A and B are shown apart, each in its own frame.
Chain A
Amino acid sequence: MIVDSYRFLPRSFRPIYEDPQPDGIDPVWTPFEKRLSESRIALLTSSGMYLEGSQDSFDLERERAEPTWGDPTFRAILAPMEAIGLAHLHISHDDILSDPNIALPVDRLAEAAANGVIGEVAPQHVSVMGFQGASLEGWREMAAPGIIDLLHRDAVDGLILAPV
């Protein structure tokens, strides 16, 4: 089966996504060399998730004032996720707030570790707000180096990214 990438997209949005400009076309590849059952796995969501009470929201006020701008910062998401907030103006929040696992499947990953499918869950996961508007420079200059540093410090063996 081939997934229809446009099944749930408004028809008027389709041209925006059909001809994207790649940042690079060279193959980037890091072989996954360890056994999965001995590996430490982390997750990354683009849902604008943050920990309420201990972290700031992503900046939605500036996005409302400057619609072609999106907050390029990131949040480290540590378990347990007792109170999560979502800052994302492009999707409904209802289902993710009802069960964050549909965007950041921390409970399913913990089960995979308990069942020996993976070695262990990384000590923290990562959240960004996926709408970046006209420029990827914020992500390139700030978020990406910070995320890479965090993943290296946590000795993460593999990352699952899930855009919303």
Chain B
Amino acid sequence: MPVLARWIEAAGIPTVVVTMMPDLATKLFTPRTVGVEFPFGHPFGLPHDAVMQNRVLDEALHVLAGADRFGTRVDIDLEWPIPRKEAYKAWQPPEPSPITKWWIERNMLSR
């Protein structure tokens, strides 16, 4: 996704990436980044929580329109309201993805 942002930005359209992995976005040289400490699949927060979704969207709009330099990163100070263990399980697919199975078969995941 950071690479798409870079290509689109280079084509003349300002971009901001809202991401659970802002470290990764920064390492991939995203023009503008908003970080959220949310489980995967939830960049704008909890379902049916318009307040939380608005908080993230407002920050994204603010950074999109207001950042004055390449590489701007703003992290949102919001804690996920569901216990980590539960949220960690809940975001994952019902069965491991094909690439995860492929990595496991080849012992490519660290222990």
Q: Is A44's CB under 8 angstroms from B4's CB?
A: yes
Number of A-B contacts (CB under 8 A): 238
Would you call A73 an interface residue if the criterion is a C-beta within 8 Å of the partner chain's C-beta atoms? no
Contacts of A111 in B (CB 8 A): 50, 54
Would you call A50 an interface residue if the criterion is a C-beta within 8 Å of the partner chain's C-beta atoms? no
In the complex, A11→B88 CA distance in Å?
11
Q: Is B43's CB under 8 angstroms from A139's CB?
A: no
Q: Count of chain A residues with Cβ under 8 Å from any Cβ of B?
A: 81
Nearest CB of chain A from residue B48's CB, rounded to whole Å: 5
Nearest CB of chain A from residue B70's CB, rounded to whole Å: 4
Would you call A162 an interface residue if the criterion is a C-beta within 8 Å of the partner chain's C-beta atoms? yes
Interface residues in chain A, defined as those with a beta carbon under 8 Å from any beta carbon in chain B: 1-9, 11-15, 17, 19-20, 22-32, 35-36, 39, 41, 44, 46-47, 63-64, 67-68, 89-92, 94-96, 98-99, 101-103, 105, 107-109, 111-112, 117-118, 128, 130-131, 133, 136, 139-140, 143-144, 147-148, 151-152, 156-164
Q: Give 10 new A-B contacts, CB below 8 A, not counting A91-B93, A159-B5, A159-B14.
A: A5-B22, A8-B38, A12-B110, A13-B109, A20-B28, A28-B31, A102-B41, A103-B42, A105-B53, A162-B43
Contact sample, A vs B, 15 pairs, CB 8 Å cutoff? A3-B20, A5-B21, A20-B28, A23-B6, A27-B70, A89-B98, A90-B40, A91-B41, A102-B45, A118-B61, A144-B7, A148-B7, A158-B65, A159-B15, A161-B17
